[in-house]
Amino acid sequence: MHNFFFRFQEKLWLHKIKSVLICALIILGLTACGETKDAETLIAEATEYQKKGDVNAAVIQLKNAIQQEPNNSEARLLLGTIYQQHDDPLSAEKELSRAFELGMDAQRVLPVLYQVLFDLGKFQQLLDTIEQHPEINTNEIQVLHGNTLLALRRNQEAKIIFDQLLADNPGSPEALVGLAQYALSVQDLALANQYTNQAVEKNPESMIAWDFKANLLRAQNKFEEALEAFKKVVQLSPNNAIAFYNKASTEIGLGRFDDAENSIAQAREIAPDNIMLHQMQAFLDFNRGEHAKALDSIQTVLSAAPEHLPSVLLAGAIQLSLGSFIQAEQYLEQYLKNIPGNLYARKLMINALLKNNKAQQAIGYLEPVLSVAQQDPQLLALAGETYMRAGNFTKATEFYEKANKLTPDNAALHTALGMTRLAMGDREQGIAELELATDLDKDSPRASILLVLAHFRANEFDKALAEINELEKSDPQNPLFHNLKGVAYMGKQDFAKARESFNKALAIQSNFFPAISNLARLDIHDQKPEAAQNRFKAILQKDDKNIQAMNALASLALSHGNINEATQWLELSSNKNPNALEPALRLAAHYLNQGEQEKALLLTRKLFGTSPNDPRVLELLGQIQLAQNNNAAALDSYEKLAAQLPDTAAAQLKIAEINAVMKDYSAAASALRKALFINPGYVEAKVAQARLAMLENDENRAISIAQRIQKEH
């Protein structure tokens, strides 16, 4: 059963190609041949071609025979059998079913048709047909019968069949493998291993036994043993593309990427058009970190087989790695609807939701598995991050601490715990955690940088400098560290040393924008605005599309009241970068701030046409519509924004305010309840509840809410 989809999808891909080629060859054959042969002769020739291994010629002659005699059951049986032998189950089912309808002997056609139905996953139809023909009862049919019952989860009935088969054929690999599958179905792994080992010991040359053993070992993460078993399968069946496919998968699990590449190449030699080899190539590229290549391969698979769940899961993981978080969420949602118990997929989904700022939805995926995953430090750390993003710092700390107990030397966990402590106001413990993270991972600057930023927020510039000096020792050519040192000196009001540090950063990387921006700030401080301007203009001389430089020039112009100049810079930034969203958004917001509402609306509607689900576009569109007193349109925009950002209380507050203006107090109250469900401590929403009570002339409720706000805040 494990190879069913592999074979099935291969022929979905090949079927169309074969049909075109066969039709072309038939036409050529008919035009080149000046005589018409009868069906019997064509069938005989097809049989001879098949004996010689010329399958294409055999198919052509059988097609010609059927063209002459559409009701020739012998031709259809032979053609269907060829299709089955060469993994084209769709075509095989059509021809074999027609042969049976035309009166072909059941003993000849049904055994082949049974295998085809099994390969197509038509288990109930297969079971019904088997039960309608009890006279056909070979060992092979019994194996199919048992496997079909297992597929339909009629496990005990399957066991009876396999027990009887083993009694009649002691040591039968098919019977022992069937019983191993039964053991797995009742979650008895030890018994499954026992039956599998018996199958191999009693049948050391059985490809079926070794193949099942290899897959069972791989499922238990025993990759080295599984690889040895797959090597045996390949040895026993050197023309088996599926064996090389499985071998490649195992080699990827072991990190032997070059070996896996070789196995995929060998599989391609056997089955060059097999669609599932693209899936394995995608899996290999993904594990190598070549995510763009992996995406190309997996999209090839999904275009042919959009419901292939392993490929759907892999596509979600690839999109997440590429930063395409919305697409990742869509793939992972599709997968989890079908297989909700896959913990790996659930972790990916939580990550995607967090990247899409949907912490509350992430909690919905997280909570069902927390009770059964208390020994999974990765999941516990993910829970900590999820609750932190949702603003529940108490729970975030709880889960980070649980994860930390399981992996006490994990620098990333101490970093996260430190950030959570700082967010809760526990500055001393937060800094202690960041310091510990720094000690644990000397090679990664992340914890040290966060520690520097924590010192900045506390105006502890000397402590920040001490930490930055340590960072510089580890990487003296990193412009970021010199820039941080300059910021620290600015905090100490030592502007000369600050300028020196920023210039050092630029000596290392001349286009390092944070240092350029900070030097411009010093120019402004020294009353030299023209010098600040020239710094950004110098960037544009080398890169006339630089968005940061044009934004900075616009900000400088605004700070000096030069509105027209600011507008020109923002328009230039947008025009130079027509496919970039950020400069167009900034320009539209500028138009709105300057009272040019029609310009702002025209540009934002254009952005909405290309990015209808971008929260920034929706929010700006709503702001413009409110400025134009188009409350109904603004309400629609903010409701769309809330749908994109379901964890954002501010969007619900804005919906409530608009509904209140439109005198729909019930809808306003509902939106405020949603806002407080998202963020129970959201003071603005509580104040809005009091105002709403006043609008509804409920003075007592308004006073009660106000008193509660005073007490709680």
Q: Which range, 10-14, 35-39, 139-143, 549-553, is most confident? A: 549-553
Mean of pLDDT values over 619-630: 96
Q: Is the pLDDT of residue 668 over 50?
A: yes
The 10s digit of each residue's pLDDT in 114-172 is 888 887 778 899 899 888 998 888 888 888 898 889 888 898 998 999 999 899 889 99
Q: Which CATH class is domain 137-204?
A: mainly alpha
pLDDT one-digit tens code per residue, 528-574: 999 999 999 999 999 999 999 999 999 999 999 999 999 999 999 99
From the options 3.50.50.60, 3.30.379.10, 3.40.1260.10, 1.25.40.10, give the CATH code of 1-133.
1.25.40.10
Question: Domain residues of the chain, as ranges?
Answer: 1-133, 137-204, 289-356, 646-713
User: Are 318 and 298 spatial neighbours (Cβ–Cβ below 8 Å)?
Assistant: yes
The average pLDDT across 33-60 equals: 80
Digit-coded pLDDT (tens) for 354-377 = 888 788 888 888 888 886 667 788
Does residue 27 have a pLDDT over 50? no
Residue 281: predicted pLDDT: 93
Q: What are phi and psi of 278, to 5 degrees?
A: -65, -35
Cα–Cα distance measured from residue 344 to residue 347, given in angstroms and rounded to the nearest whole number: 5
Give pTM, 2 decimals: 0.56
Q: Residues 6 or more apart from 40 whose CB is under 8 A from it? A: none
Distance CA 174, CA 391 (A): 57
Identify residue 508 by its one-letter amino acid code. I
Query: 1.25.40.10, 2.40.37.20, 1.10.8.420, 1.10.150.80: which CATH number matches 289-356?
Result: 1.25.40.10
Mean per-residue pLDDT, 372-397: 78
Q: What number of residues does the chain have?
A: 713
pLDDT at 660 over 70: yes
Cα–Cα dist 22/20, whole Å: 6
Given a cut of 70, whether residue 392 has pLDDT beyond it is yes
Average pLDDT over residues 320-327: 90
How confident is residue 602, by pLDDT bands cut at 50, 70 and 90? very high
Of 658, 650, 656, 594, the residue nearest 625 (C-alpha):
658
Mean of pLDDT over the chain: 86
pLDDT at 28: 35
* CA 437 to each of CA 56, 90, 394, 446: distance values in angstroms, whole numbers, following the listed order: 66, 58, 20, 9
- ∠ CA 373-378-381 to the nearest 5 degrees? 95
pLDDT-based confidence at residue 46 (cuts at 50, 70, 90) = confident
If pLDDT is split at 50, 70 and 90, which confidence band does 29 have?
very low
Q: Residue 401 pLDDT > 90, yes or no?
A: no
Name which residue leads in pLDDT, 49 or 418. 49
Amino acid letter for position 71 = N
Q: What CATH number does domain 646-713 carry, 2.60.40.10, 3.40.50.2300, 1.25.40.10, 3.50.30.30?
A: 1.25.40.10
Q: Select the more confidently predicted residue: 333 or 679.
A: 333
Separation CA 176–CA 167 (nearest Å)? 11
Contact call for residues 162 and 149 (beta carbons, < 8 A): no
Summarised one tens digit per residue, pLDDT across range 490-503 is 999 999 999 999 99
Range 407-435 average pLDDT: 69
Asked which of 6-15, 49-58, 218-227 is least confident by mean pLDDT, the reply is 6-15
Amino acid 386: pLDDT: 86
pLDDT band at 286, cuts 50/70/90? very high
Q: What is the pLDDT of residue 247?
A: 93
Q: How far is CA 653 from CA 157, 387, 705, in A?
A: 60, 22, 16
